[in-house]
Amino acid sequence: MLTKRFLILVLGGVMYLTVPGLSQSVQIKKEYAATLLQLADVLMALQVDGEDHKDCGALICKNCNVLHTRAAEAVYPFALSYKITGEKRYLKAAQNTASWLIRQQETDGSWKETPEEWTGTTTDQLLMLMLAHEVISAELTRQENALWLASIHKAADYLYKVMKPEFASINYVATTTATLAKAHQLTGTERYRTRATELAHRTVSKMDEKGFINGEGGRGLGAKLGIDLGYEMEMSLWGLGLYAKITGDTLVNNRVRNSLREHLYFIYPDGSLDNSWGIRSNKWTMYGGATSDGCQALLSMYADEDKRYASASYKNLLFLRRNILPSGLIGYGPQHSEVFKTQPCIYPTFTKAKNLALAYQLEVKDSRPYAALPSESKGWIKHFSNLDVVQVRTKNFMATVTGYRYKDQKAGAKSKYMFRPNGGAVSYLWVEGHGALQASSVTEYSRPEPMSFPEAPGVKCLTPQISYGDSLGYFTNLFEFDARLATITLKNGGFRVEATGELKNRDWINGGVAYHITYTFSDEFIEKKIDLTYHDAFPVVVITEPFIMQPGMQVKKESESKVAISGGKKEFVFTTDGSAKLVVGRDAADYWTPYPAVRAFPVEMEIAPPGHGFTKSVTYRVVLKK
């Protein structure tokens, strides 16, 4: 066994270094272990101690002032930390966590996701309890073993009765395939395996032709539809993969393998996970999701099939580490400390810890050679026609343009899934040697799950957009869920993306102004030409381009057609053709967002309605200075 002291000595010099060269290899299991132990220590420090205390073993969340039952999923990271180090304090923490979790179990076998009433997370709690039992069962007393097994049976019976797509979002169904397969393996109860297979096949039946799973959004007449890349990479696909590994189901395994090949494109060169466009992007943190587990479990499970998977896992781990706060908790994004005065909820910390515990246990090799990711190759464009999402990679820029057409027809504007960026907007813009220059946030911020969404009154949307407001309301391309996207590869090596639609309000009703965006992506600049057609309204239209403010950055208006963006790792010049009024910094203090936790600075262009005719256009560029 490795002692924790040994791990620190071995890894202390490399934990926060950049990715090794292509000829080098990554000590992948040690990297997983290092961050796992770091997070486990933070969580253990939050644990209620004292055997006489009624909540002994619970984890305190100072942000929410509540004992989250889901936080007891830390039982598995604690157990695995004991396996790695041999230190008894981790064993005690795992035993106390499990004892507390068992005491919280409802009579029907479920656990409520306190402080809420939702019980679908029972699958996550049960799976972690079983994985922990597998690791430390030999260390439990006969009485403890009996209590654990009785609780496992009750929870598995509950999931057997209730879990299906009509009951829960698809990530819970996918996870339950692994949970019930593991319950069958542990207890020998055959009906658990039978139901696991039924649910697994039902889940993969909801995959589209590229392997993206429908089932995270609102309900139609029964089950849910809608795709979210984050929950797929951090929850659903590893659940299905683990089920297939336990049961030997080759059909499901092949579907996951094929799906992962497509999903790999959404790991950006710096390791950030691009869920800017997904229907649950309201919790996007840039390293992943705030309440989903993480991509390491999935990528480590299939690491033998493609060298790039371990590399993607490692790069995302490095990016995740940049989001660990001085307190040791994981924040909501790269600038958490700058936009929040309070500590985050413990959800990101324990979910990522359990993911790393899984990754450590599923990884079969100590080291992996580093292989370049798709996003590290330069000079390509990829149109995910199944999603209406485009990715572009030039020498210096990488961008995502989204027109993902899912609509929650039943709930409409009341749906929490319908405030994601859309309409052909750039939802993520990354620059080589600089990092994120732009990133999306919800069009209107709300708190559909008060526990998970911090208060943030007055925050502005960070997604680049075209909009106007009048007596009839607020209209923007971000509410256009029927935009048409097209791509062109230019002869000079650049790329063009075109998006066409109408400016609409939150109820998806046309306001009377149509738009056509022509993006030109080159190695040194990004150009946007926006053509407006005024057919039933003649308002002043505003184009807003917020830029993420990394430490030291400044945005300064130098003329009526030029803005300098300086002080960061790279320097940029924003130029316009002079056909719009340039406004810099209006309401700048409001341009921040909880998810991802970053702050931005706005550059706006005001376009007056045409004095004659019915069209207006503006062209502008973001140029990377050499």
612 pLDDT more than 60: yes
Distances in Å between the Cα of 616 and the Cα atoms of 149, 207, 513 are 69, 42, 11
Evaluate if residue 103 carries a pLDDT over 50.
yes
Q: Taking CA 258 as the corner, what is the angle to CA 596 and CA 185, rounded to the nearest 5 degrees? A: 90
Q: What average pLDDT does this structure show over 504-520? A: 97
Mean pLDDT score, 83-105: 98
Given a cut of 80, is residue 18 above it in pLDDT? no
Residues 6 or more apart whose CB falls under 8 angstroms from that of 318 comprise: 16, 18, 19, 271
Strand order through the sheet with 397-402:
380-384, 389-393, 397-402, 425-431, 435-439
CB 39 within 8 Å of CB 77: yes
What is the amino acid identity at position 578? G
Q: Which domains, ranges and CATH numbers included, belong to the chain? A: 380-445+455-624 (2.70.98.70)
pLDDT on residue 492: 86
119-172: per-residue pLDDT in tens?
Answer: 999 999 999 999 999 999 999 999 999 999 999 999 999 999 999 999 999 999
Helical H runs in 264-393?
296-301, 307-321, 336-339, 347-362
pLDDT at 243: 98
- Cβ-based neighbour number of residue 225 at 10 Å: 20
Residue pair 199/175 in contact (Cβ under 8 Å)? The answer is no
* Residue 555: strand pairing partners: 565
Residue 398 banded pLDDT, cuts 50, 70, 90: very high
Q: How confident is the model at residue 8 (pLDDT cuts 50, 70, 90)?
A: very low
pLDDT of residue 221: 84
Specify the length of the chain in residues: 626
pLDDT for the residue 576: 98
User: What is the reported pLDDT for 23?
Assistant: 54
Q: How confident is the model at residue 325 (pLDDT cuts 50, 70, 90)?
A: very high
Start-end of H helices in 379-495: none
Whole-number Cα distances in Å, 239 to 141, 175, 245: 30, 4, 10
Per-residue pLDDT tens for 404-442? 999 998 999 999 999 999 999 999 999 999 999 999 999
Q: What tens digit of pLDDT does each residue of 439-492 get?
A: 999 999 999 999 899 999 999 999 999 999 999 999 999 999 999 999 999 998
Read off φ and ψ for residue 430, nearest 5 degrees: -125, 145
Q: Is the pLDDT of residue 21 over 80?
A: no
Does 626 score more than 90 pLDDT?
A: no
For 168-210, what is each residue's pLDDT tens digit? 999 999 999 999 999 999 999 999 999 999 999 999 999 999 9
Tell me the two tokens of residue 424. 């052909």
pLDDT at 3 over 80: no
Report pLDDT digits (tens) over 112-128.
999 999 999 999 999 99
Q: How many CB atoms lie within 10 A of CB 533?
A: 16
pLDDT at 386: 96
Does residue 13 surpass a pLDDT of 70?
Answer: no
Give the least confident one: 4-18, 168-182, 334-348, 379-393: 4-18
Residue 394 has what pLDDT?
Answer: 98
pTM over 0.85: yes
Q: Count of CB atoms within 10 A of residue 536's CB?
A: 10
Q: Which residues of 247-275 are buried (b: 16+ CB within 10 A; e: fewer)?
A: bebeebbebbbebbbbbbbbbbbbbbbbb
- Per-residue pLDDT at 302: 98
| 270, two tokens | 């710096």
Give Dmax over CA atoms of the chain in angstroms.
Answer: 86
Average pLDDT value over all residues in the chain: 95
